[in-house]
Amino acid sequence: MKRLALLAVVALVAWGSGGNTLIPVAEAQGKACLACHDGIERFSDGVMQEDIEKMGAELGDPAGCVVCHGGNPKEEKDKMKAHMGSPAGLAKKGGPKNFLPDPGAMPVNDQACGQCHSGYYDRLNKSLMNTEAGKLQGNMWSWGYQKDMKVVWGNYDVMDDDGPVPLVGTKAYKKYMKDFVKKHPDQMPKRLKQLPQVDLEKLTDNPNHAGLTYSRHDCQRCHVGVTGRDKRGDYRGSGCSACHVPYSNDGYYEGGDPTIKKDEAGHILTHRMQGTRKTKVKVGEVEFSGIPVETCVSCHNRGKRVGVSYQGIMEAPYGSPFNEKGKKQPKMHTKRYLFIKEDLHHEMNSIAGNPQGGMLCQDCHTTIDLHGDGNIPGTTLAQVEVECEDCHGTFNKLPWDLPLGRGEEFGEMKDGLPTAYTKPRGLGTKWPEYMKDATQYEPQDGYLLTARGNPLGNVVKKGKDVIVHSANGLDFRVPLLKQIGDEGTFKSTLAKVSMFLIPQHQNNMECYACHADWVPQCYGCHVTVDYSKGNEGTDWLVNASNRDPKTGLTPDAPPGTNGMKSPGKVMETRSYLRWETPVLGINGEGRVSPMMPGCQVTTTVIDKDGKTLVNNKIWETPEGPGIDTAAVQPHTAGRSARSCESCHDNPKALGYGVEGGRFLLGADKDFVLDLKDSATGKIIPQKTQVQIPGIPGLTYDWSAIVTEDGEQLSSVGSHWPLTGPLPDDKRDAIEKTGVCLGCHEERFNPDFWQKVSEPGVMDSFEHQQFMKKALKAIAAQKK
């Protein structure tokens, strides 16, 4: 089995079709599971592993394999029989009821991991890692299938039976989330329904229902209920094993178990658990702790692409430069990449006084961000509890002086503070029970709190400093904005002006509206769904719905296969790619945020008889054409923010499109390229082909979301009511175009210009000083 996270997993793969190979009794006697797997890595160290081995010894398995995997440790001669059933006493106590090749798989992880880590299955089952509710809602919105912002669909039927109060969290957090659910019922549903399969008999009347196939085939492979695609970069386990067991991008085993094929892709890298600072993993000469960023990237490489963006790479069609054999770079996640610039938190280089090394995803994102809290979140914004200011503070307040809710006010703000919460959040001093499995650090002066009131257990106040304890073993000092202001240690005048002298920037904008160096922008998603000639594709929800109830394994688990299929072959491409100067808009929290292309589908649907039902069709949403643009935290932070001009004198940033939307026009008409009579515009040959097919209704550039007159051109955000283009008043306040012309048009008046100008050519600094003189002259006049 391909994604088998733990011990006995690999033996199944090694047997192939060999059946009941017998082990010589003399070699097997007393070894239990190690009769075959002698040499496999001890899964972990410390108290947890010691408890597992103690419990295993009582069951006749000193290595403790049976505690997580089940099986029959007394059967050392016959592999098949050894991998059947489970000790009665273990099953009676809530342990494995059958042999579990992957104990982390959903939902059997409740029998395995859940023996010690209770409650995680229920949380994970309702979390976005499993349901992908936000992704489905966004897809269905762009395909014209979803008619409102109410979150309805999930990968599974899921019900929240225990009400709006989370299962875990501090009292402050539980109260906060209870109020949050009440305010946002459409985004915090009580139940989800599994996204249905397309009904081919109704497709002629409803060709947009092909969006169901598109989602199930192309978008749902990354949830933790399945093992994922059998491709380089996509290998992983399922459930708990998806994150807590290492897989290399190439999927080869590098451990000591003799039963695991080392030349077959799709296996764990080593039989070790990765998780916290105290959990060490050694592969060859390299020892690491924490969960590598690449583990997260095995899923977070599509959609918002935050994983690959954090690493500094973006998909590109070229695959250059060539390798020494003249070949293109190998594909990863079925894509090739271009290196742009990594997030400052990922860089090996750090600020003075900090160690060399980057941060892990888990250093910022909490257990609730990842595992959920027992409620059903409908979007990322609903589940993630952290904000940049939780660690860095603001220009006039340290993190512990900020109130709860700072950063997600949803438009309810006064004087830079959320109206619902005004008291300082303070610091945490106690270690909550739900965090007991994490590495516990000394609180020093106290743990910093998230925007919703839970302690960031790895971030502490120590005197004047804030320290982040990374799971990779390094400790980093966090720059505090107020401290920078008090001490005057600005990196530039621009930093002082933008962050400290213009409070509206921090009160109305996300930090990353300026500090995101770049945003991946994949404009135009051209999708064909072809049901003719028996075309099929992997259906990840069919796989998810056909798991073995005894083992939790889905049909996509065996190596070299992606499991079960359903009708329809999906093909997709884009119009063009960009990365620099993203569009700005309003996100769901009511703050100015970078935007990126969402699900901008232009669809062609071919039915089972080969008839084209629609060609290059853009579907309508409640907010206009389904060329969706979405707010994003791109995870591409840079120490130097984007320039003032990149927002205040940039029509694309304001939402008018690249260069004001003056390019890529006429896309709504077929473009024929051939000999042409330039006097009449008529094509001369009688036999021609359409070079660029038209897209009906696309009369503007993909990157344009609003006109200068305030007309919204397409859908902007599908989840939250506040999401949209920059409103008229904000665009008017931001736009400062023509500032150069204000002075330089006076060149038409030579006498005047001679009086105010200076000879020679000024550089940028000299020009700034000259402009200061002009301002001072105006000020002197007003005196």
Residue 292 · residue 361 · CB < 8 Å: no
Coil, strand or helix: which one is 26?
Answer: helix
Looking at the chain, the number of H-run helices and the number of E-run strands are 29, 26
* Residues 567, 630 within the same domain: yes
* Residues 595, 718 within the same domain: yes
Overall pTM > 0.85: yes
* Residues 587, 724 within the same domain: yes
Specify the DSSP element, H or E, that contains 44.
Answer: none
Coil, strand or helix: which one is 695?
Answer: coil
- CA dist., res. 310 & res. 733, Å (int): 31
Convert 44-63 into a string of H (helix), E (strand) and C (coil): CCCHHHHHHHHHHHHCCCCC
**Residue finishing a domain among 440, 464, 483:** 483
* Residues 657, 697 within the same domain: yes
- CA dist., res. 69 & res. 63, Å (int): 12
* Residues 570, 719 within the same domain: yes
* Residues 614, 672 within the same domain: yes
* Residues 745, 649 within the same domain: no
The rounded average pLDDT for each run of 10 residues, N- to C-terminus, in the chain (783 residues) is 39 32 53 91 92 93 94 88 92 94 96 94 97 96 95 97 95 97 97 97 97 96 93 95 97 94 94 95 96 96 95 95 95 96 96 95 97 97 97 96 96 87 95 92 97 98 98 97 94 87 91 96 96 96 95 90 94 95 95 95 97 97 95 95 91 96 95 95 95 96 96 95 95 87 86 86 86 88 82
* Residues 711, 754 within the same domain: no
What is the pLDDT, as a whole number, of residue 493?
A: 85
Residue 660 backbone zone (phi > 0: left; psi -120 to 50: alpha; other: beta): left
- CA dist., res. 625 & res. 652, Å (int): 19
Let me know if residue 207 belongs to a domain. Answer: no
* Residues 744, 710 within the same domain: no
Radius of gyration of the chain (CA): 29
Please give the tally of structural domains in the chain.
4
Using a 10 angstrom Cβ sphere, with 0-12 exposed, 13-18 middle and 19 or more buried, the burial of residue 350 is middle
Let me know if residue 477 belongs to a domain. Answer: yes
What is the pLDDT, as a whole number, of residue 7?
A: 37
**Residue finishing a domain among 697, 716, 734:** 734
Let me know if residue 372 belongs to a domain. Answer: no
* Residues 674, 758 within the same domain: no
Let me know if residue 37 belongs to a domain. Answer: yes
Let me know if residue 750 belongs to a domain. Answer: yes
* Residues 576, 676 within the same domain: yes
E-assigned strand segments in 264-401: 280-283, 286-289, 313-316, 336-339
What is the pLDDT, as a whole number, of residue 771?
A: 87
What is the pLDDT, as a whole number, of residue 151?
A: 97
Let me know if residue 129 belongs to a domain. Answer: no
**Residue finishing a domain among 82, 102, 117:** 117
Residue numbers of the domain that contains 47: 9-117
Let me know if residue 134 belongs to a domain. Answer: no
- CA dist., res. 293 & res. 298, Å (int): 9
What is the pLDDT, as a whole number, of residue 782?
A: 86
Q: What is the largest CA-CA distance in the chain?
A: 108
* Residues 712, 747 within the same domain: no
Let me know if residue 759 belongs to a domain. Answer: yes
What is the pLDDT, as a whole number, of residue 664?
A: 94
What is the pLDDT, as a whole number, of residue 29?
A: 60
